[in-house]
Structures are given as structure tokens and as C-alpha cells.
Amino acid sequence: MSDHRTRFLQLALDADALRFGEFTLKSGRLSPYFFNAGRFDSGASLATLAACYADAVDAAGLPFDLLFGPAYKGIPLATALACEYARRGRNLPLAFNRKEAKAHGEGGTLIGAPLAGRRVLVVDDVITAGTAIREALAIIAGAGGTVAGIVVAWTGRRSPPRPTAARRRRRWPLKPGCRFWPWPGSATCLHSPTETRNWPHSARRCWPTVPATDATRRAD
């Protein structure tokens, strides 16, 4: 397991961002675990998380020149990542979207640097059904940007199919040259539940022994 994935998993366990039990995901699927990036709720934890993101992106060798955070959790994640890159000497422009268009002031749904003509790296917390990512792709394309790649902390699928190129084009309408790894084991995914054999001992110990809760909790 790469160093940034090990650091990320330990951070998720320490912050209680990774929990075990019985959860109903947004997609309606039952899951024995739940990842909640909202638990990274301090400056120190966000800074550590951003360093993991940056290491994952650098390891993937993605060429990009703008960070985009989809509303809502993608906004602080992309912002923290921009700060981490600035700390490393790379000053990147940043943009994000609103869920609802603003009718006054600057108006519209986009905030931050213009996307037109830029290679955009989408920064989000998880991918399960992929709805938020598809919305982000449409927003970026509509603003004249090109999606260079997508980085997430967690993929919500335990046993995903290996997508063919044709299936990936149908599901993810990306332009040629965009690098996107939506499935576990991908270069830009920090971690995935299919990798439990490589998890630290504290996490492996939790996985098979934590009983399901009596009442299924709604995990949005």
C-alpha cells in the first residue's frame, strides 16, 4: 500500500470518518461501512487530508491547471488542496459551484477562477452512484473547461466491474485525454474497501467483528 493511502486510512480511523455497521447509502444499497468526509472537521485534519490528495494526484502524473470542488463537500476539499499546493510552491486557481443559481450580485452558479480553456481537476469526497460527478462534468464543459481528471478519497463500490472503454464513455462523457479512474485501485482514489487485506491491523480487526446495528441508518 502506498504511503499516502496508509496515512489517509489512519486519518479516517482517527477522525471517525470511517465507521462500521449497517448503513443505507444514497444509492439505496446497504453497506457494512460508511465514509463521511465531514468528520475531517479541523484545520489539522483537513491539512493532512489535503496532503494525501496532493500525493495521490502527483503519483498519478495528472496534467492540470485548475481545481474544481463540486458543491458541497468538494468545496472545502478543493480549497484545502489548493492551499497544500501553494505550500508546495504551486499556486493553482480554484473554482466551485452553487447548488442554486444566484440571482443577484455576480449571479450564476460558478464561483472563483474562470474555467474556460483550462484543464480542470475535479476534487470530491466519494463516488458511489456518480450523480454529483456527472453534474460537475456538465458544469465544467458548459463553462468551456476540459476535465483533466477526478480525484476522490473513497469509492463506494466493493466489487465493481472492470469497465470497458465503451461503457466508460457512456457513463462518464469525458473528452479524449481526460484521465479518470472511478474504480477501486485507481491511481487517484486514495482508498477503497476492496483493499482491506492491505489495511492497518486496527482497521482489519474492525471490519469482520463490528456487528450490524439494529436500525439501519440513513447515510446521505
Tell me which of 26, 102, 175, 201 is the catalytic residue. 102
Instruction: Return the C-alpha cell found at 139.
Output: 458544469
The predicted structure's pLDDT at residue 213: 31
Helix/strand/coil for 153: strand
Give the number of other Cβ atoms within 10 Å of residue 129's Cβ: 15
Rounded Cα distance, 73 and 63, in Å: 23
Which H helix or E strand runs over 97? strand 94-102
Strand partners, 152: 189
Distance of CA 201 to the CA centre of its chain: 24
| Tally of domains within the chain | 1
Q: Which domain holds residue 18?
A: 3-218
- Strand ranges, E, within the chain: 18-24, 30-35, 66-69, 94-102, 108-112, 119-123, 126-127, 146-155, 189-191, 217-218
pLDDT tens per residue, range 144-165:
999 888 888 887 655 444 444 4
The predicted structure's pLDDT at residue 154: 83
DSSP code at position 120: E
According to DSSP, the β-strands at 146-155 and 119-123 are parallel
DSSP string, 136-149: HHHHHHHTT-EEEE
pLDDT tens per residue, range 88-103:
999 999 999 988 876 6
The predicted structure's pLDDT at residue 119: 94
Burial category of 188 from C-beta neighbours within 10 Å (exposed 0-12, middle 13-18, buried 19 and up): buried
DSSP code at position 185: T
Instruction: Return the C-alpha cell found at 121.
Output: 481537476
Identify whether 104 is a catalytic site residue.
yes
The predicted structure's pLDDT at residue 102: 67
Strand partners, 97: 110
Tell me which of 4, 99, 104, 201 is the catalytic residue. 104
Rounded Cα distance, 217 and 23, in Å: 5
The predicted structure's pLDDT at residue 219: 41
The predicted structure's pLDDT at residue 177: 45
pLDDT by position in tens, the chain (length 220): 678 888 888 899 999 998 888 888 777 888 888 889 999 999 999 999 999 999 988 988 888 999 999 999 999 999 999 999 999 999 999 999 988 876 666 667 899 999 999 999 999 998 776 778 888 889 999 999 998 888 888 876 554 444 444 554 444 444 444 444 432 233 345 544 444 444 444 444 433 333 333 333 334 3
Give the number of other Cβ atoms within 10 Å of residue 142's Cβ: 11
Of 13, 18, 12, 19, nearest in space to 212 by CA: 19
Percentage of the chain surpassing pLDDT 70?
A: 66
Say which CATH number the domain at 26 has.
3.40.50.2020
DSSP string, 15-43: TT-EEEEEEE-TTS-EEEEEE-GGG--SH
Identify whether 102 is a catalytic site residue.
yes
